[in-house]
């Protein structure tokens, strides 16, 4: 069944690492996808910023997704941006896009991830007007060695049929691919998907932390 899916992503690549397999499968079912990137690029304004923007555009095109960039050139500096800026941005997106499902990054210890998580969850408070019926947190590979816990149940999505597409999507972020033992490469993505698949009884899976579901 098609639906409207909003992904809140601190940086360009987090959305693919966290829920690229799910997004690929939902694209194939005709769902409408919108990705809100908190920032792309850093304050040095190097040529890499334009490279990263072009990478994100390629990913969105492949996912048939619309997108927006809330701030440019603030990678690693979002902790210095007033929280009300992001909360107001996410409020406006909820009211205009009216998503059925919202995916937010797991907080982690990265200052950008924490600020985006805190702001998104604040915007998802009980509010007048539109409220999404499904909210979940997606993983970032580096949370595996961090002792951060959030409330909510575990929800696994079988990506056995979409793992290769997830990896191909991440390959479009050429500037972000790292060598092993970093998990930011095709082997790392496959290994994490295998672990989550083993936990849930399928070959490959993505793990989400369910925050709200209304049926």
- Gyration radius from the chain CA atoms: 16
Of the CA atoms within 13 Å of residue 121, those in its CB half-sphere come to 16
91 has pLDDT over 90:
yes
Contacts of residue 100, Cβ cutoff 8 Å, sequence gap at least 6: 3, 4, 5, 132, 133, 134
**Percent of the chain whose predicted confidence (pLDDT) is above 70:** 94
Q: What is the pLDDT of residues 107-153, one digit of tens each?
A: 888 999 999 999 999 999 877 778 899 999 999 887 766 666 777 89
CA distance 111 to 103: 19
Return phi, psi of residue 206, to 5°. -110, 145
Residue pair 128/91 in contact by the 8 Å Cβ criterion:
no
| Residue 10: domain span | 4-213
How does the average pLDDT of the chain come out, rounded? 92
- How many independent structural domains does the chain possess? 1
Residue 105 neighbours by CB under 8 Å, 6+ apart? 8, 9, 10, 14, 18, 113, 116, 117, 120, 137, 138, 140
Q: What integer pLDDT is reported at residue 209 of this predicted model? A: 95
Task: Give yes or no for residue 189 having a pLDDT over 90.
Answer: yes
What is the distance between the alpha carbons of residues 158 and 75, in angstroms, rounded to a whole number?
A: 32
Q: Which pTM does this prediction carry?
A: 0.94
User: In this structure, what CATH number is given to the domain that contains residue 34?
Assistant: 3.40.50.10320
pLDDT tens per residue, range 8-48: 999 999 999 999 999 999 999 999 999 999 999 776 655 57
CA distance 117 to 146: 16
Is the peptide bond preceding residue 181 cis, with omega within 30 degrees of 0? yes
- 8 A C-beta contact, residue 140 and residue 107: no
Q: What is the spatial distance between Cα 108 and Cα 106, in angstroms, rounded to a whole number?
A: 6
């Amino acid at each position: 069944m098609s639906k409207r899916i909003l992904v809140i992503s601190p940086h360009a690549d987090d959305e693919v690492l966290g829920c690229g397999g799910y997004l690929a499968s939902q694209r194939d079912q005709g769902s409408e996808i919108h990705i809100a990137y908190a920032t792309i690029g850093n304050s040095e304004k190097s040529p890499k910023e334009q490279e990263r923007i072009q990478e994100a555009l390629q990913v969105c095109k492949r996912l048939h997704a619309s997108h927006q960039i809330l701030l440019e050139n603030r990678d690693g500096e979002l902790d210095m941006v007033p929280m009300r800026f992001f909360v107001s941005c996410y409020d406006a997106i909820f009211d205009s896009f009216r998503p059925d499902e919202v995916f937010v990054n797991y907080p982690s210890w990265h200052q950008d991830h924490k600020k985006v998580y805190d702001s998104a969850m604040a915007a998802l408070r009980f509010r007048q007007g539109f409220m999404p019926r499904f909210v979940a947190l997606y993983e970032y590979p580096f949370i595996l060695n961090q002792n951060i816990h959030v409330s909510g149940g575990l929800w696994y999505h079988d990506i056995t049929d979409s793992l290769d597409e997830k990896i191909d999507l991440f390959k479009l972020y050429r500037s972000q691919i790292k060598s092993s033992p970093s998990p930011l490469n095709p082997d790392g993505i496959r290994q994490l998907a295998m672990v989550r698949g083993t936990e849930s009884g399928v070959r490959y899976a993505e793990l989400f932390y369910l925050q709200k579901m209304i049926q």
